[in-house]
């Protein structure tokens, strides 16, 4: 069995950004997202597909670190208003949509992916978020649809010089500019 998990906001925001100049940006985003999901599911021969959304709310990450996501540009208003319609089109196509109140979508993706892989399923997470690389193992990969590559254990080791399970400690110490995490002062990658 093969489970494909889509990081909804990662996919939707990237596609919307490419179509934003168009009058029909929302329609183009919806149809392009659906085609990306279907194409990846077919290529992977996925037996199950889940799209993970997130609610706009305060999570435990904001409580631990008040500046979490502070530097991120806000979602375009038209997209924010059209998310329900996009989600509905996924559901009408028979695609399971998941969100959990009080939890960030990335946390739900990671939990679902790790538990499914532990249970013996082959799992692919569709996202450009390198943070998911820490989950990679013999049953779990991360696919970047836009740049057309898949993170497996070997690719993670070649890119970072570390095993996937070492990445959280590495990023905690060195910081991560993508997510505006400062790391420990005076420590950097070597």
Report the alpha-carbon distance of residue 47 to residue 3 in Å, rounded. 6
Q: Which residues of the chain have pLDDT under 50?
A: none
Which phi and psi (to 5°) does residue 73 adopt? -70, 145
Report the alpha-carbon distance of residue 139 to residue 2 in Å, rounded. 9
Per-residue pLDDT, 148:
93
CA atoms within 13 A of residue 138's CA, in its CB half-sphere: 3
User: What's the CATH fold of domain 2-162?
Assistant: Rossmann fold (3.40.50)
Report pTM: 0.92
SS (H, E, C) the chain: CEEEEEEHHHHHHHHHHHHCCCCCHHHHHHHHHHHHHHHHHHHHCCCEEEEECCCCCCCHHHHHCCCCCCCCCCCCHHHHHHHHHHHHHHHHCCCEEECCCCCCHHHHHHHHHHHHHHCCCEEEEECCCHHHHHHCECCEEEEECCCCEEECHHHHHHHHCCCHHHHHHHHHHHCEHHHCECCCCCCCCC
Per-residue pLDDT, 80:
92
Report the alpha-carbon distance of residue 4 to residue 44 in Å, rounded. 8
Backbone conformation region of residue 24, classed left if phi is above 0, alpha if psi is from -120 to 50, else beta: alpha
What strands, in cross-sheet order, belong to the sheet with 48-52? 96-98, 48-52, 2-7, 122-126, 140-144, 149-151
Per-residue pLDDT, 183:
81
Domain spans, the chain? 2-162
Per-residue pLDDT, 61:
77
pLDDT one-digit tens code per residue, 68-95: 777 778 889 999 999 999 999 999 999 9
């Amino acid at each position: 069995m093969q489970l494909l998990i889509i990081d909804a906001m990662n996919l939707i925001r990237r596609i919307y950004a490419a179509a934003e100049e168009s009058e029909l940006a929302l329609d183009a985003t919806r149809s392009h997202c659906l085609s990306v999901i279907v194409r990846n599911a077919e290529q992977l021969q996925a037996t199950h597909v889940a799209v993970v959304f997130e609610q706009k709310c305060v999570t435990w990450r904001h409580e631990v670190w008040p500046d979490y996501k502070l530097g991120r540009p806000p979602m375009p208003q038209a997209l924010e208003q059209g998310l329900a319609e996009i989600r509905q089109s996924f559901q009408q196509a028979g695609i399971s949509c998941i969100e959990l109140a009080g939890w960030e979508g990335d946390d739900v993706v990671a939990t679902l992916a790790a538990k499914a892989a532990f249970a013996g399923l082959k799992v692919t997470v569709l996202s450009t978020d390198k943070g998911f690389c820490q989950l990679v193992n013999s049953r779990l990969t991360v696919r970047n649809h836009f740049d057309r590559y898949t993170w497996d254990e070997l690719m993670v080791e070649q890119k970072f010089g570390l095993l996937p399970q070492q990445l959280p400690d590495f990023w905690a110490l060195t910081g991560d500019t993508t997510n505006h995490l400062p790391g420990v002062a005076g420590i950097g990658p070597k």
